Amino acid sequence: MTAHDRARFADSCLQLCGLDDCSREADVLHKECHLPRMSRDEDGVQRVEATICWWFNPFGDETLDRDSADLVNLSSGLMCSEQTTKDLLEAEQQGKEAFQRFIKNRVVDQCDKFHDPIQKLKLSTFTVRKERTTTRSALKVAVLKADCALFSKMAVIAQLRHLDIREVLAYPLSAAPLSLCTAEGTMVKTNKAALLQLLSKTDCTSHEPAPPSSAALIVDAMALLRTLKPTSLPGTLGELAKHVFICLARNFPQFRRIDFVADTYPEYSIKDVERSRRAQSHGEIRLRISSGQQHTPKQWAKFLSSGSSKTELVSFLVTEWSTDAYASHLKARQLYATDGISCVKLVSPDGLTTTAT
């Protein structure tokens, strides 16, 4: 309400000091109308637009064929776990139930003191929280106690019913045969590292001549991605796709055909059970990729522990490599890349990337 009075005082001060000469355009322009300030504001607007564009769109077409129960972080694309999804979707209901318990126990029934501390609802959020897992030694003790209890019951029943103890003990005491599962309940596995140790002890030097230019090179996609060090990962997924593609083009220049082969990760499989077991002990990060501007996960090992995340990453790499920006690196080569159960052929005969499935 006093702006006009303060402006009049300012003009009077300028006239008193002899600074009321407004012949120059810069003297009459507001500071926000000067070119440096305008360019800085325009740069800020562009950065805000770029940030919003690479955010994950939960209402986009890319989510129509997916499970709508999954919750995704808008800024990072990280998918929350089942427990986190349950807590976030039921947070309001759990708060109302806690309020009803407070009224019932402290006001109506008065079984609790009114001024006692209120227990906090420990609802999980997008923050990764490592769950406490049972150690192997504790599992072994529990299994042995259960086996001993079962053995004693079987012995007593065989004695009371006059059964042949040899026939009774012909069956395993554990829930599953030990030839298939361990005492902790996990499946019996083969140590693949033993093969690497055996090969390291033997002379594996190859004396074969260099492969001809017509030979094809098969690259294990996950083996190549796991060799990337987390400290040297590019900042965005788009830069990661370019880095992996340049590695294929530069490190194997003598091959005219390169096959970039990735596994499939079905939900119900023996490997999925093992992957879930590892994720419980080390944790996993599930990510949905919608743009090349998304930040590369710094916890690279946890990111590659999820089958869905690896499927998303391989599909993104194939889609990114299908653009014309990679034609100059592809040159006269043929790149075959798997995307789920399909295979995509990438060539650039005329400087433009051509794809065929």
pLDDT confidence tier of residue 96, bands split at 50, 70 and 90: very high
How far apart are the C-alpha atoms of 55 and 303, rounded to whole Å?
A: 19
Whether the pLDDT of residue 98 is over 50: the answer is: yes
Residue 60 tokens, joined? 């986009």
Sequence-ordered list of residues with C-beta below 8 angstroms from that of 193, at least 6 positions apart, any chain: none
Whether the pLDDT of residue 22 is over 90: the answer is: no
Q: Domain ranges in the chain? A: 83-126, 138-190, 214-356
- Can you give the pTM of this predicted structure? 0.59
Residue 191 tokens, joined? 């140590």
| Residue (of 301, 318, 307) closest to 229 by Cα position | 301
| Residue (of 261, 247, 254, 243) closest to 216 by Cα position | 254
DSSP 130-162: PPP---HHHHHHHHHHHHHHHHHHHHHHHHHTT
Rounded to the nearest 10 degrees, what angle do helices 82-89 and 91-103 cross at?
Answer: 60
pLDDT confidence tier of residue 278, bands split at 50, 70 and 90: low
Per residue in 221-266, pLDDT (tens digit) is 888 888 888 888 888 888 999 999 888 877 777 788 889 999 888 7
**Partners of residue 79 on adjacent β-strands:** 72, 286
Whether the pLDDT of residue 325 is over 90: the answer is: no
* Average pLDDT value over all residues in the chain: 79
Residue 236 has what DSSP assignment? B
pLDDT for 138: 66
How far apart are the C-alpha atoms of 278 and 306, rounded to whole Å?
A: 10
Rounded to the nearest 10 degrees, what angle do helices 237-251 and 307-321 cross at?
Answer: 70
Ranked by mean pLDDT, the top range of 72-81, 139-148, 204-213, 287-296 is 287-296
How far apart are the C-alpha atoms of 153 and 157, rounded to whole Å?
A: 6
Q: How far is CA 184 from CA 135, 175, 181, 238, 280, in A?
A: 10, 10, 8, 43, 15
Per residue in 190-207, pLDDT (tens digit) is 777 788 788 777 766 666
CB atoms within 10 A of CB 37: 12
DSSP 288-344: ----TTSBPPS-HHHHTT-HHHHHHHHHHHHHHHTSGGGHHHHTT-EEEEEETTEEE
pLDDT for 309: 84
Residue 90 has what DSSP assignment? T
pLDDT for 93: 92
Characterize 108-126 residue by residue with b for buried, 16 or more Cβ atoms within 10 angstroms of its Cβ, and e for exposed: eeeeeeeeeeeeeeeebeb
pLDDT for 63: 44
pLDDT for 311: 87
pLDDT for 64: 42
Give the percent of the chain with pLDDT over 70.
78
Whether the pLDDT of residue 183 is over 70: the answer is: no
How far apart are the C-alpha atoms of 168 and 171, rounded to whole Å?
A: 6
Whether the pLDDT of residue 283 is over 70: the answer is: no
How far apart are the C-alpha atoms of 244 and 228, rounded to whole Å?
A: 9
Average pLDDT over residues 159-183: 77
Largest interatomic CA distance in the chain: 121
pLDDT confidence tier of residue 43, bands split at 50, 70 and 90: very high
